């Protein structure tokens, strides 16, 4: 369903861009080139929403730790604190913890339910939290609060560092995107002249537009790849119940 929505929105932007550009330039080749360009950017932006959703998930884990510590300090058991996150936890994580509560009530094994959460999120930050919970359950929870506090501080420092780097990368990426868009903006302005529109309607002009689209696509993908932060690999993977 999500893939279909992306295709429909991309097609809509393509048709709208072609129509508007044709009204401005009266050149079919230039209109198609701009339509393909805008459609490609729209498709890439819509697909990149997954990355933003993942970033929102990562940013929510320190709050999860705070809720767990608050629940344990108030006298709740670990099971009750985790189940309570379905109502009191970060909004983006509540559906997952609702599934955890349902799974826990179904088979009554907290280790199994935690492992299912771990596999659902498959992220190094959540792995550390769930492994700490599994270890504390196996060995006793006397040091659980200290472990959670240390882990929360570490995750917050990591998030702050990544945000600082992302801001710096953002300036570079925005400048690069503007540089890639500048020739096309100039082309759109020049295409209001009949002679320019006629020149790009020839086979040679069409070949130049195709080459320009290809080089813009390569540059756009390359810039985004360079600006992407490396992901910390998962360490706590393997068999259930924390056994690797």
Tell me the per-residue pLDDT of 168-179, one tens digit each, with 9 for 90 and over. Answer: 777 777 777 788
What is the per-residue pLDDT for 244?
40
> Does 35 fall in a domain?
no
The pLDDT-based confidence of 230 (bands split at 50, 70, 90) is: low
Query: What average pLDDT does this structure show over 173-188?
Result: 82
Does residue 2 carry a pLDDT above 60?
Answer: no
Asked if the model's pLDDT at residue 130 lies above 70, the reply is yes
Q: Is 150 inside a domain boundary?
A: yes
Count how many domains the chain has: 1
Q: Nearest 10 degrees: CA dihedral of 197, 200, 201, 203?
A: 170
CA dist 143 and 34 (Å) reads 60
* DSSP code, position 193: S
Task: For residue 39, tell me if it sits in a domain.
Answer: no
Q: Are 79 and 87 in contact (CB under 8 A)?
A: no
| 8 Å CB contact between 127 and 118 | yes
Q: Residue 77 domain-assigned?
A: yes
Confidence band (pLDDT; 50, 70, 90) for 237? low
- The answer on pLDDT for 57 being more than 50 is yes
Cβ contacts of 82 within 8 Å, gap of 6 or more: 68, 97, 100, 101, 104, 110, 113, 114, 133
Residue 101 pLDDT class (50, 70, 90 cuts): confident
Q: Is the pLDDT of residue 241 over 70?
A: no
- Identify which has the larger pLDDT, 224 or 75: 75
> Once rounded to an integer, what is the mean pLDDT over residues 211-235?
76
Task: Give 122's pLDDT tier (boundaries 50, 70, 90).
Answer: confident
Q: Tell me which residue has tokens 């993908």.
A: 221
Domain extent for 119? 59-159
Tokens of 73: 């300090």
Comparing C-alpha atoms, which of 101, 95, 102 is closest to residue 60? 95
Dihedral sign computed on CA atoms, order 130, 132, 138, 143: negative
Does the pTM exceed 0.75? no
Task: Specify whether the CB–CB gap between 133 and 79 falls below 8 A.
Answer: no
d(CA 142, CA 136) in angstroms, rounded, equals 8
Tell whether 232 is covered by a domain: no
Is 164 among the domain residues? Answer: no
Q: Is 165 domain-assigned?
A: no
**Weakest mean pLDDT among 99-108, 114-123, 229-238:** 229-238
Dist. CA 172–CA 195, nearest whole Å: 36
Q: If you average pLDDT over every residue of the chain, what do you get?
A: 80
pLDDT at 113: 83
Q: Are 155 and 61 in contact (CB under 8 A)?
A: yes
Q: Is residue 114 part of a domain?
A: yes
Instruction: Please report where in the chains the tokens 């009949």 appear, as a residue.
Output: 194
């Amino acid at each position: 369903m999500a893939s279909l929505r992306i295709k429909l929105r991309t097609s809509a932007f393509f048709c709208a861009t072609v129509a508007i550009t044709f009204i401005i330039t009266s050149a079919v080749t230039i209109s198609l080139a701009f339509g393909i360009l805008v459609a490609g950017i729209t498709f890439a932006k819509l697909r990149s929403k997954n990355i933003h959703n993942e970033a929102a998930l990562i940013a929510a884990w320190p709050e999860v730790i705070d809720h767990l510590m608050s629940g344990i300090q108030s006298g709740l058991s670990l099971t009750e604190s985790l189940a309570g996150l379905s109502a009191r936890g970060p909004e983006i994580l509540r559906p997952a913890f609702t599934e955890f509560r349902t799974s826990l009530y179904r088979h009554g094994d907290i280790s199994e339910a935690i492992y299912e959460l771990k596999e659902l999120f498959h992220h190094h930050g959540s792995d550390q939290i769930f492994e700490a919970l599994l270890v504390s359950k196996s060995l006793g929870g006397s040091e659980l609060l200290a472990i959670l506090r240390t882990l929360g501080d570490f995750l917050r420092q990591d998030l702050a560092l990544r945000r600082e780097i992302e801001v710096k990368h953002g300036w570079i990426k925005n400048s690069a995107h503007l540089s890639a868009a500048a020739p096309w903006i100039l082309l759109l302005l020049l295409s209001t002249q009949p002679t320019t529109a006629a020149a790009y309607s020839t086979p040679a002009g069409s070949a130049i537009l195709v080459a320009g689209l290809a080089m813009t696509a390569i540059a756009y993908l390359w810039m985004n790849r360079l600006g992407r932060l490396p992901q910390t690999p998962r360490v706590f993977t393997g068999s259930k119940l924390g056994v690797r």
